[in-house]
Amino acid sequence: MLMQTGERACESQHGLLTTSAAQLDTQPVFALEGSVFICGAVVQWLRDGLGVIKSSAEIEALATSVPDSGGVYFVPALTGFGSPHWDPRARISRAALEAIGYQSAELLLAMQKDAATPIKELRVDGGAAANNLLMQHQADLLGIPVVRPHIIETTALGAAYLAGLTAGVWNSTKEIAEH
């Protein structure tokens, strides 16, 4: 997760990184950065490692088949499970998605504290952004709207737009915004 802090390199007091952000000219632009290492990998592990789901897209339907995680919290340390006689698939799937939400919320709250800036919305992208249950959980945790773009892979799209701007495909950010 990145939060642009503008021309101010904000030093984190909450375990985040200060990083250089994408910029269009020689004026430095900075951001706070935090990482949740096991997001998509936990869904992949449920699919490939445990065989709980056959495809990544199945996790949302399985997780929404229960009203909540039933008090199960999943910390993606992946150190094992209880008795093989249990059938925890639906609750584990739900808890795995909720774990992504909790970790992401913790990052955003740390960014808000460091930047001393109230966050009004969370803009998301990437494969996990397609998961309605996860995005609603994220909005519920943070109490702010979660905004999902029409094109989920906006990080790649932004990089392509910046490359096109540099190569002269587009003449300005205003021209890009029209797309």
Query: Which segments of the chain does DSSP mark as H helices, in order?
Result: 40-44, 58-63, 89-115, 132-142, 154-167, 173-177
Is it the case that residue 77 has pLDDT exceeding 60?
no
CB of 7 within 8 A of CB of 28? yes
Low-confidence winner among 2-16, 76-90, 132-146, 148-162 (lowest mean pLDDT)? 76-90
Provide the total of helices (H) and of strands (E) in the chain, helices listed first: 6, 5
What percent of the chain shows pLDDT beyond 90?
54
**Residue 76: which pLDDT band, with cuts at 50, 70 and 90?**
low
**Residue 95: which pLDDT band, with cuts at 50, 70 and 90?**
confident
Q: pTM higher than 0.75 for the full model?
A: no
Is it the case that residue 37 has pLDDT exceeding 80?
no
What's the length of the chain? 179
Q: What is the mean pLDDT of residues 19-28?
A: 88
